[in-house]
Structure 1
């Protein structure tokens, strides 16, 4: 089965009903260090080694950032996470909460940068170009969005758009690569390195606190509206499980980004030392938790019989943060997920 498009936050999940579930320190201020005064060349950058102007090649053209940006707009929750992780308060962001509570880690970041609440636009019908234009940003971050094909022309007429180098990058870039691209355009490469180091330490500390996780195999599955998705396929590294010491189950080799559906007749493919399942679409999923857990084939799995099966909650945002790692959530994910996995290993 072909890959399903990813949801964009809570509202995106409710709106799209088709998605595939494929982290992070905070700081304040917009000024850069000496290293920030030098542009780091990469596959998507070109031009002078001076910090500004910065030239970034993207899938739709070239982004020229003439001066160090101060006012930054974002067009996805993942881009908002990048801005907050780098210590920036976006001048406008999409409203992804839809009246719900802001995730704990995100609220802490907002509080740390002294923003109180973020200025948002209603994204029910997609990006609100007028609201973005009214905010008069110096740059627009769009490295973590799946709608840039529709957005780029209109957004680039407002301000330089920082996005990915190839259209396929929308699905394949790691959060570290997205952070790096944004940091180059913002003159905050040193800060980005601090973010990465902080996230790595958070996972190293969590893994050290739970040595029982090391070397255990895992399967991570997400119940979507159209299928049960084998998310921990061979080429997929969401980072969170491996970062805590687990390794992919043998059956991971049978799945890929474009072949990731597990039928109810093949639930034995989920076998592993630890099985982790999430239900981000609730009653709109292919099968409910109670229905899956009462399935005879599911009940026959050794991992289920041994009670090494865990459900990752969608209510507090943990399932989303596990599925879509970004530049803000990693320490929180490590803190919340490690005990869940430890209980599963112990058969609790």
Structure 2
């Protein structure tokens, strides 16, 4: 069997591991994320980018084939029998999932590419891949192994929200009530953070990923950017690749950088000269492969509360309009 090809629909979470995994936003598919109504009883039918999948009975052997689906399944109280590697980060030791030690021993069915043979050997009765980046023909291959909850997309063809992922996965597992309670809990965490920091609302913040020779400002529908817009920040009008000659695009009310440390970046005099840097309105999430950028990439009901805990103090310091305030380090 062949290996799956990644579809270039947006800047993928794989770039958290290697900047060469960056892919452009290029899908014209406007399919929306939706699920059939129901109360968690089976059979249940869920809709996704490739059509619909009917799950006849409560699954007993779940395999997660998306890049962050493992967190959702664990958060809903289920343990899959195998999973897909989150490439470039020691995801087995991620601090936001330390309550699930059993998940650290799960066999893997691939990383950047799925291994169809290992997938079949896991004998799944349900595959969960709401964030899998598979081409449609690869979806057909995996769905021939077991019923598959395929990729979810937002209204513009980009990735679906974590809320849609959670709702869909909850129904697929027969755990709609648990999913709704968890959704409300995470939303409450965001509400607490914004209530404590009303200055976040309406501030333009560039969420920029470090690339070789430049940066990439994340689009509004990228899950990593959504974390900050959910806190009230606004995405700049110009997004995408930023070369050395256009560092001015980073000079917004706030700048949030993932992929390098403050020391590494401010060694460049052009970067250090930006007002957003000089006035300490910049938050540095750290190098790829460390916890904060990875938590941002997972964008799950487990990683988001963790990320609020570790980033909100720095965001608060960076938005207080006092250049004398030192923004605390993250990680």
Same fold per TM (> 0.5)? yes
Q: 1:133 maps to which residue? A: 120
Q: Is the 8 A contact 2:14 2:87 kept in 1?
A: no
Give a deviation string over 1:84-124, Cα, whole Å, max 9, x none: 1111101111233668361100222x14xxx2633122625
The 2-side partners of 1:168 and 1:239 are apart by: 15
1:268 aligns with 2:248: yes
Please say which of residues 296-305 and 44-53 is displaced more in the overlay: 44-53
Rate the CA distance shift 1:271–1:3 in 2: closer, same or farther, 3 A. farther
Q: 1:105 maps to which residue? A: 96
1:89 aligns with 2:79: yes
RMSD (CA atoms): 3.4
The 2-side partners of 1:299 and 1:9 are apart by: 24
1:336 aligns with 2:316: no
Alpha-carbon offset, residue 78 of structure 1: 0.8
Q: Is the 8 A contact 1:220 1:230 kept in 2?
A: yes
Rate the CA distance shift 1:169–1:122 in 2: closer, same or farther, 3 A. farther
Q: 1:75 maps to which residue? A: 65
Q: 2:277 maps to which residue? A: 304
Aligned partner (choices 9, 12, 19) of residue 6 of structure 1: 12
SS in 2 for 1:69: coil
SS in 1 for 2:124: coil
Q: Is the 8 A contact 2:33 2:49 kept in 1?
A: no
Correspondence 1:136-151 to 2 at 5 A: 136-149=123-136, 151=138
The 2-side partners of 1:188 and 1:141 are apart by: 14
Q: 1:38 maps to which residue? A: none
Please say which of residues 179-188 and 149-158 is displaced more in the overlay: 149-158
The 2-side partners of 1:228 and 1:192 are apart by: 36
Correspondence 1:213-232 to 2 at 5 A: 213-225=200-212, 227-231=214-218
SS in 2 for 1:265: helix
Q: 2:300 maps to which residue? A: 326
The 2-side partners of 1:62 and 1:234 are apart by: 27
Rate the CA distance shift 1:234–1:50 in 2: closer, same or farther, 3 A. closer
SS in 1 for 2:110: coil
The 2-side partners of 1:266 and 1:116 are apart by: 43
The 1-side partners of 2:187 and 2:317 are apart by: 23
1:253 aligns with 2:227: no
The 1-side partners of 2:318 and 2:88 are apart by: 32
Rate the CA distance shift 1:88–1:320 in 2: closer, same or farther, 3 A. same
Q: 1:243 maps to which residue? A: 230
Q: 1:159 maps to which residue? A: 146
The 2-side partners of 1:178 and 1:299 are apart by: 39
The 2-side partners of 1:213 and 1:19 are apart by: 28
The 2-side partners of 1:227 and 1:294 are apart by: 14
Give a deviation string over 1:3-30, Cα, whole Å, max 9, x none: 76514386xx24x7222699xxxxxxxx
Gaps of at least 5 residues in structure 2 are 1-7, 26-31, 327-331
Count of residues in correspondence between the two structures: 306
Aligned partner (choices 159, 181, 192) of residue 194 of structure 1: 181
Q: TM-score, normalised to structure 2's length?
A: 0.78
Q: 1:18 maps to which residue? A: 21
SS in 2 for 1:120: coil
Alpha-carbon offset, residue 162 of structure 1: 0.6
Of structures 1 and 2, the one scoring higher in RCO (CA 8 A, sep 6+) is 1
Q: Is the 8 A contact 1:219 1:270 kept in 2?
A: yes
The 1-side partners of 2:230 and 2:155 are apart by: 25
The 2-side partners of 1:180 and 1:310 are apart by: 31
Alpha-carbon offset, residue 209 of structure 1: 4.1
Q: Is the 8 A contact 1:9 1:77 kept in 2?
A: no
